[in-house]
Amino acid sequence: MTQNAVFCVLIVMSEKEFESVAVKLREKAVATCLACGADLMQAEDVAQDVLLRLWQLRDTLDKYRSLEALVVVMARHNLAMLHRNDNSVPIMEINTKQLRSQLVAPDDSLISSQEAAWLNKAMRRLPSTQYAVLHMRQVECLSYDEIARRLGIESSSARCLLSRARLKLLDEIKKRNQL
């Protein structure tokens, strides 16, 4: 039985039939999320949501040509929604032990960790879309086209959002340095 034939079996199915095919669909959802830069825990959460939604749609799945493609699209959309709604994730994880080992004076270490904490807090105050674009560009090193594709926006919009995020952070840094 080919892979497409396996996915076509889902058209009208029982719980037992769904369970037999769900493993492959779940693997596809997890792989898609990991390819989009999610960590394993996020990928598992999104895959679970995708399978739940497929189960809810099981009576109408016959209108889709490829359930594998549907799973990929659903996983990408759910992951994008997760990133839009979750702006509490720090943009930069700093290994403080490594940072301390590189510095000589203890007060330098304290100052650096305070500055990093301040910068993380300032970044978390950015609007979620600006934060997401900044994270994807600076941390994940994605191109503007890739960022635009992931967020479902134009490339010029991604550039504009990144520029606004950087300007806001620059203003925050200027204000902090004036104090």
Residue 52 pLDDT more than 60?
yes
**Angstrom distance (rounded) from CA 33 to CA 31:** 5
Residue 54 pLDDT more than 80?
yes
pLDDT tens-digit map of 94-143: 455 554 555 456 566 566 778 888 888 888 888 888 888 988 888 888 89
∠ CA 111-116-120, rounded to 5°: 150
Q: Is 138 exposed, middle or buried (0-12, 13-18, 19+ CB in 10 A)?
A: middle
Contact 139, 92 (CB under 8 A): yes
Complete domains list, the chain, with CATH: 3-85 (1.10.1740), 96-178 (1.10.10.10)
Question: Which whole number is the average pLDDT over 52-63?
Answer: 81
Identify which has the larger pLDDT, 161 or 95.
Answer: 161
pLDDT tens-digit map of 60-71: 877 888 888 889
When mean pLDDT is compared over 7-11, 37-41, 60-64, 153-157, the highest value belongs to 153-157
Q: Is 112 exposed, middle or buried (0-12, 13-18, 19+ CB in 10 A)?
A: middle
pLDDT value, residue 6: 44
